[in-house]
Amino acid sequence: MKRTAVLFFLLSMLISGPVATAAVDDIRILVDVSGSMVKTDPQNLRIPAVKMLNGLIPSGSSAGLWTFGRYVSMEVKWGKVDEKWRKRADAGVDKIHSRGQFTNIEGALTRASASWKTADPNSRRNIILLTDGQVDISKNAEKNELSRSNILNKTLPQLVKKGVTVHTIALSGYSDESLLKQIAVKTSGSFEIANSAEDLQRIFLRMFERAAKPDTVPLNNNSFSVDNSIREMTLLVFRQGDRKTRLIQPDGKVHIEEKHAANVQWRNDLGYDLITVKKPLSGKWKLDADVDPDNRVMVVTDLKLVVNDLPAYTTPDKALDIKVELQSKNKKISKNSFLKFVDFSLTHRVEEDTVTTRLQQKKSRETSDKGIYLQRIDAPLREGNHELIISADARVFDRSKRFNIEVQWPVKVDIEKGKKPGEFELRIQAREEYIVADSLQLEVVLQRPDGLQKPLIMALQNGEWNSQIMANELDGLHPLLIRVKATSVHGEPVDHKLDGYSVLGVKFEPQQEVKDDTVEDPAANEKEPEAATMDEDENDNGLMTTLIIIVALNVVFVLIAGGVYFYLRKKKLSNEEYDLFAENDELDLDAGDKKDD
């Protein structure tokens, strides 16, 4: 209790006094309206996604919206963001369509950035570009290629000089991914691929966070704390179904879309709620909604967590250095009497792995170093997406910042198994968003398990380097030692030794004809024809027996038939003899009678 009272007192002291000047956000949104969007965004989900972005941009910032096909149109006039601007912006966003011809990316970047003449340290300039295609300004392929070249060689250098950061989104597999990523990398921006229009809302959120770097309050199981330094808060709540969002104050009062307090503004659109609360009540708030990792609580406050700029892209061999401090009214807090009550931490997520580390204050006798907390994530880094969440946690307030960093080598390495054991196909291709493809030089060595090294010959075919790997002499892991030399898109020398690539070798012995040297017994060989003769005799005897049986049966049948025949014949003859005898007997009787007479 005593600690809490001390923190409240110190916090009230820190947030009093004049406010130092801070950079103002200037965000310009470019949306593709070419005819191909009929297929890539059939439901026109660009509209609710951009409206969400309109609601997220902080009041007091500057913003505008341009659409482009063949021509570039300013749909929402650039100006200072306030309630009037938001209403005009919503009306302008409704004009987004899919009827345009061609895809004039060069013209969109040029026109949207025209009012930026020179760099301004007091302005954070960001462009968010969404397209589903490639540079297409004419049916003439040469003109299209010239426009693409102008973007890389003329437009981007001018944007860099003006201090403009460009974030690009590809909304189809037909987009010029290489170009969009080069635009992002060269201007220290970020690039994302939207697999479907449904992904746009969450991608716009991440783009906004990298552009505006809003202060956020951690949302733990749909609960969060509000301190008395927060003047305004905006909640972004993603909805999965028909469940309605409810916001519950510390005193138990409930806000819903249909009924809420006068200091609450509620924007409801397809898939999300955007709730802004001015002068929110201090204490523990609750959100009655589906738990979603992309839900956010963004705050306008004089007590800010400030993190150094971290790259959107880096290579695995580079460590990440993180510098953190708390600021009150844009001035660093260096008083240990306050900082000793605050826990600074870093949560590092890579795929399924999560590590949380407590940050330590920089050890230095210099007054300017007080209040600075440092942390290094050592190389080598795993290739893939790294999420960093930096938090400052005290009993009376919480702050957090979130970053997504893509870790990649400047070349793409593919290893494919061959048809035979121990055979592989190695393919290496330059990532043109990082390096100049024509400048790529490769040194590749295959190392056997016994330490013996064998250089591989790389052949260039259709912009891709290829080599056949033969790891069929020894079983075990064969590491690949790959060295990459090139010139970066910024004109700087690149020299990397790639780690983590290997193949599994299999010892392969070709099959040979087996010769049997065993001495054979001649007697055994002599028995074989006898056995064959016996088999043949047995077969002949069996056949003869069968024939004899058949003949015997036929003889028996003939004898029986003959016997029956002779029996019947004999019986017939006997009957004839009897009749003859009877006739003769009658003649004798008659003769005797006559004699007697």
- The predicted-structure confidence for 89-100, as pLDDT tens digits, reads as follows 999 999 999 999
Say which residue the tokens 């000089």 belong to.
161
Of the candidates 470, 405, 469, 410, the residue with the CA atom closest to the CA atom of residue 442: 410
pTM to 2 decimal places: 0.80
Cα separation, 449 vs 243, whole angstroms: 59
In a domain, 357, yes or no: yes
176-226 per-position pLDDT tens digit = 999 999 999 999 999 999 989 999 999 999 999 999 999 999 999 999 999
Beta strand 272-278 pairing with 296-301: unpaired
Split at pLDDT 50, 70, 90, the class of 284 is very high
Indicate the residue type of 176. Answer: D
316: exposed, middle or buried (C-beta count within 10 Å: 0-12, 13-18, 19+)? Answer: middle
Of the candidates 210, 235, 204, 274, the residue with the CA atom closest to the CA atom of residue 29: 204
In a domain, 563, yes or no: no
pLDDT given for residue 249 in this prediction: 97
Q: Please spell the DSSP secondary structure of 195-210, one letter per residue.
A: SSGGGHHHHHHHHHHH
Cα separation, 96 vs 325, whole angstroms: 41
* Mean pLDDT across 384-400: 94
- Domain holding 40: CATH number? 3.40.50.410
Q: Token digits for 20?
A: 């130092």
- Do 349 and 455 belong together in one domain? no
More reliable by pLDDT, 577 or 589: 577
**46-56 and 83-93 helices, crossing angle to 10°:** 170
- Do 70 and 141 belong together in one domain? yes
pLDDT given for residue 566 in this prediction: 58
CB 53 within 8 A of CB 128: yes
Structural domain count of the chain: 4
Q: For the chain, report the end-to-end CA distance as a whole number of angstroms.
A: 177
**How crowded is the C-beta side of 231, counted as CA atoms within 13 Å?**
9
HEC states along 144-186? HHHHHHHHHHHHHHHHHHCCEEEEEEECCCCCCHHHHHHHHHH
Cα separation, 258 vs 239, whole angstroms: 16
Indicate the residue type of 572. Answer: K
What does the angle CA 371 – CA 376 – CA 381 come to, to the nearest 5 degrees? 155
- Do 275 and 186 belong together in one domain? no
Mapped onto helix, strand or coil, the DSSP state of residue 559 is helix
- Do 361 and 230 belong together in one domain? no
- Do 172 and 52 belong together in one domain? yes
Of the listed ranges 165-169, 175-179, 434-438, 566-570, the least confidently predicted one is 566-570
In a domain, 583, yes or no: no
Range of the domain at 36: 20-212
More reliable by pLDDT, 220 or 579: 220
Position 446 pLDDT exceeds 90: yes
Q: Token digits for 100?
A: 């345009």
Mapped onto helix, strand or coil, the DSSP state of residue 393 is strand
67: left (phi over 0), alpha (psi -120 to 50) or beta: beta
Split at pLDDT 50, 70, 90, the class of 593 is very low
Position 534 pLDDT exceeds 50: no
- Domain holding 223: CATH number? 2.60.40
- Do 274 and 260 belong together in one domain? yes
17 secondary structure, DSSP code: S
Domain boundary among 374, 407, 440: 407
Of the listed ranges 106-115, 516-525, 541-550, the least confidently predicted one is 516-525
In a domain, 552, yes or no: no
Indicate the residue type of 19. Answer: V
pLDDT given for residue 597 in this prediction: 39
Mapped onto helix, strand or coil, the DSSP state of residue 585 is helix
Domain boundary among 158, 187, 212: 212
pLDDT given for residue 548 in this prediction: 62
In a domain, 577, yes or no: no
364-375 per-position pLDDT tens digit = 888 888 999 999
Cα separation, 469 vs 527, whole angstroms: 56
pLDDT given for residue 571 in this prediction: 54
Mapped onto helix, strand or coil, the DSSP state of residue 460 is strand
Domain boundary among 300, 321, 341: 300
Position 45 pLDDT exceeds 60: yes
Residues 6 or more apart whose Cβ sits within 8 Å of residue 253: 261
In a domain, 555, yes or no: no
- Do 244 and 388 belong together in one domain? no
- Domain holding 415: CATH number? 2.60.40.10
Indicate the residue type of 265. Answer: Q
Position 160 pLDDT exceeds 50: yes
* Mean pLDDT across 323-346: 94
Beta bridge partners of 331: 328
pLDDT given for residue 560 in this prediction: 66
- Do 174 and 276 belong together in one domain? no
Of the candidates 175, 159, 162, the residue with the CA atom closest to the CA atom of residue 39: 175
- Do 145 and 277 belong together in one domain? no
Sheet containing 423-430: which strands, arranged edge to edge?
411-417, 423-430, 464-470, 459-461
Buried b (16+ CB within 10 A) or exposed e, 503-521: bebeeeeeeeeeeeeeeee
Position 581 pLDDT exceeds 60: no
Position 11 pLDDT exceeds 70: no
In a domain, 561, yes or no: no
Cα separation, 27 vs 32, whole angstroms: 17
Mapped onto helix, strand or coil, the DSSP state of residue 575 is helix
- Do 139 and 261 belong together in one domain? no
Beta strand 230-238 pairing with 272-278: antiparallel
Split at pLDDT 50, 70, 90, the class of 529 is very low
- Do 47 and 172 belong together in one domain? yes
Of the listed ranges 194-208, 234-248, 305-319, 510-524, the least confidently predicted one is 510-524
Tell me phi and psi for residue 467, to 5 degrees. Answer: -160, 150
* Mean pLDDT across 137-145: 95
Split at pLDDT 50, 70, 90, the class of 391 is very high
In a domain, 546, yes or no: no
- Do 296 and 311 belong together in one domain? no
